[in-house]
Amino acid sequence: MSMDRVAWSSLYNITRASSGSKPFSKETLKRVFSFARPHKGKLIAFVLLSIVMAVLAVATPVLAGQVVDAIIAGAATDVVVWLAVLIAIVAVAEAGLGLVTRWLSSTIGEGVIVDLRTKVFDHVQKMPIAFFTRTRTGALVSRLNNDVIGAQSAFAGTLSGVVSNVVALALTLVVMLGKSWLITVLAMILLPIFLIPARRMGSKLADLRREAAEHNASMGTQMTERFSAPGATLVKLFGRPDEESREFAVRAGRVRDIGIRTAMLQFTFVTALTLVSALALALVYGLGGFLALQGQLAAGDVVVLALLLTRLYAPLTALSNARVEIMSALVSFERVFEILDLKPLIQQKPDAVSSPAGPLSVEFDDVRFSYPSADKVSLASLEDVSTLDTRGGEEVLHGISFRVEPGQTVALVGSSGAGKSTIAQLLSRLYDVDSGAVRFGGAVPGTGVDVRDLTFDSMRHTLGMVTQDGHLFHESIASNLRLARPDASDELMWDVLRQARLEDMIRSLPDGLDTVVGERGYRLSGGERQRLTIARLLIAQPRVVILDEATAALDSTNEAAVQEALGAALEGRTAVVIAHRLSTIRAADAILVVEGGRIVERGTHTELLAAEGRYAELYRTQFAEASAVAEEAVPGH
């Protein structure tokens, strides 16, 4: 290894070490080793081969010194040739072992990445909806990428570096002291000149890199938000393009300035340390040459000492930073463990059962509920706040009780924020009730199965839901439909698309079912997106259906067509329908009026109109608004 490579290596390690560290617990170490356990065999082989490579690295300079001594002593040609062959064999062995250790390092490191990412991904999927409503998606993705890779370095680089550097340093010191204790001690005295500027420069570079990372993160956030379909629309409608451009240019310019300053600091640092290294070599050759001429040192030993000098500085500088490198890796592990330690609020019981067979009733029995506070479902680091919001726990549903018989449709109406969507979320077990129960099945009230006692798979097969936003993945139409039923045939998909009044439109597309709908389905119109989510519900064929403003994005013509399709699809199924437009739920078997988290009225459309209560008020208000709109559309008004 040349002196400039030692300087660059030292700069890299010390820059990383300057990021700071904190004490770590034994529990963290135990959890770290639990991820290493599946790779135990490869890890042991990796460490052993690293030791062998360290021995070979010291052997080469020693053999080179013997060649010089043999030449000066006028030894036989065979001796010099065999020494040269031996050097070649050592070089080949180093190269071969280097490939093997590199393969082991990559295998272990990538294996740890897979294990960590899979575990975090699976755990995050179990988190409640409240977790996702509070968490920054970018911060969560960063845990799966940057922190996992940082944790991987503990196995892939730091571990082998510590082992090989300890062995290399010990062997190098033994050989150098054996050759000349005086030169070795003087070389060690120069070490502080090598390390002190490195630490100071490394700290400055670490600060610059952190600042650059923050600016890059800000630019990334700005691009992510502005380049999405809704973000771009918002900027075009209300944004200030010139100011957006100036903000971006300021950040980009600062990153440019940091890059220039970083490059100059790096070059200055490496130049200075290369100079120090050259002075150290001058010391070895000058003092060593003098001692050799005095007959106190063999000429070959001077060569050995010069070649071993870099093998002395490199391990020392690396080991001086090893503790901080390990700390940095452990910090990454702790950030990953922080996610894994956040317990999901919604969990499947060990003795969970399947839902009863046949048509199902739905029953809410004195249900009370309050949304959980942030400290129960989130992390401050994922929300980019210093302290989590402790507000929450205020009851939003107060003793909700109703029953939907098998095959019946019950509609929930009321003002915005009255608690209608909360009821739907409790029925689908996106949240769990605080008290009371939500039950499926049971011919007699109170005899059904509590949804908290059902398996997750059973819940998914039993209940289907269409939400107001009509979310779709950036995948093909077929993939979005098969999300509800992976084994669905093309014939079945065309059938549900026909029911959702989408068949003709999708057949007209060049790629048909293979058409990619775009991020959140933005390549489709609002009505098409919503009808596709309705088709996804139809393909799942659940026994209990929730429609949360399912036709909100449709115009009158499409709404009537989809309502007809839904009427046929929901026949024989239990349904809970939430709608603001009261005209869509007049045919429901029962209508529940929800206000302030309570059911204030219940009955059929006719009964509630006759009661002249809140429902009648809502109905007259909407009817008057619809009449006004119709009159404005007539010429002369």
pLDDT band at 630 (very low <50, low <70, confident <90, very high): very low
d(CA 487, CA 292): 83
18 CB contacts (<8 Å, ≥6 apart)? 199, 202, 203, 205, 206, 207, 324
- Calculate the average pLDDT of the chain: 78
Beta bridge partners of 395: 370
362, 403 Cβ separation under 8 angstroms: yes
- What pLDDT is stored for residue 631 in this prediction? 45
pLDDT band at 410 (very low <50, low <70, confident <90, very high): very high
Question: What domains, with CATH codes, occur in the chain?
Answer: 3-340 (1.20.1560.10), 362-378+392-633 (3.40.50.300)
Q: Tell which residue, 136, 142, 135, has the closest CA to residue 120.
A: 142
d(CA 136, CA 146): 15
188 CB contacts (<8 Å, ≥6 apart)? 312
Residue 602, classed as helix, strand or coil, is strand
Side by side, which strands form the sheet with 362-370?
395-404, 362-370, 435-440, 449-450
518-547 pLDDT, tens per residue?
776 777 777 788 788 888 888 888 889 888
Please state the pTM of the whole predicted model.
Answer: 0.69
201, 269 Cβ separation under 8 angstroms: yes
Residue 68 confidence (pLDDT) above 80: yes
Exposed, middle or buried: residue 622 (CB in 10 Å: 0-12, 13-18, 19+)? middle
User: Counting runs of H as helices and runs of E as strands, what totals does the chain give?
Assistant: 25, 10
Letter for the amino acid at 411?
A
583-625 pLDDT, tens per residue?
667 778 899 999 999 999 999 988 999 999 898 888 888 765 5
- What pLDDT is stored for residue 629 in this prediction? 44
d(CA 316, CA 192): 11
- What pLDDT is stored for residue 437 in this prediction? 93
Looking only at the bridges linking them, the beta strands covering 463-466 and 544-548 are parallel
Residue 545, classed as helix, strand or coil, is strand
Taking phi first (over 0 means left), then psi (-120 to 50 degrees means alpha), and beta for anything else, what does residue 402 get? beta
Residue 518, classed as helix, strand or coil, is coil
Q: What percent of the chain has pLDDT over 70?
A: 77
Residue 346 confidence (pLDDT) above 80: yes
183, 308 Cβ separation under 8 angstroms: no
120-166 pLDDT, tens per residue?
888 888 888 878 877 777 667 777 777 777 666 666 566 666 777 78
Mean pLDDT confidence for 435-462: 87
Residue 20 confidence (pLDDT) above 60: no
d(CA 301, CA 229): 70
* Helical pair 322-340 and 159-179, crossing angle rounded to 10 deg: 170
Mean pLDDT confidence for 491-520: 85
- What pLDDT is stored for residue 65 in this prediction? 84
pLDDT band at 384 (very low <50, low <70, confident <90, very high): low
291-312 pLDDT, tens per residue?
888 888 888 888 888 888 777 7
Mean pLDDT confidence for 453-471: 85
555, 473 Cβ separation under 8 angstroms: no
- What pLDDT is stored for residue 465 in this prediction? 85
Beta bridge partners of 412: 578, 592
pLDDT band at 363 (very low <50, low <70, confident <90, very high): very high
Residue 637 confidence (pLDDT) above 50: no
Q: Read out DSSP for 343-381?
A: --SS---TT-BPPPSSS--EEEEEEEEEPPPHHHH--HH
Residue 3 confidence (pLDDT) above 60: no
Token pair of 603, please? 């009955």
Residue 351 confidence (pLDDT) above 50: yes
Exposed, middle or buried: residue 438 (CB in 10 Å: 0-12, 13-18, 19+)? buried
Residue 215 confidence (pLDDT) above 70: yes
Mean pLDDT confidence for 18-39: 68
Token pair of 246, please? 């100036």
d(CA 624, CA 630): 10
d(CA 585, CA 299): 100
d(CA 233, CA 230): 5
Euclidean distance between the first and final Cα of the chain, in Å?
A: 89
Letter for the amino acid at 309?
L
Q: Read out DSSP for 96-163?
A: HHHHHHHHHHHHHHHHHHHHHHHHHHHHHHTS-HHHHHHS-HHHHHHIIIIIHHHHHHIIIIIHHHHH
Residue 382 confidence (pLDDT) above 80: no
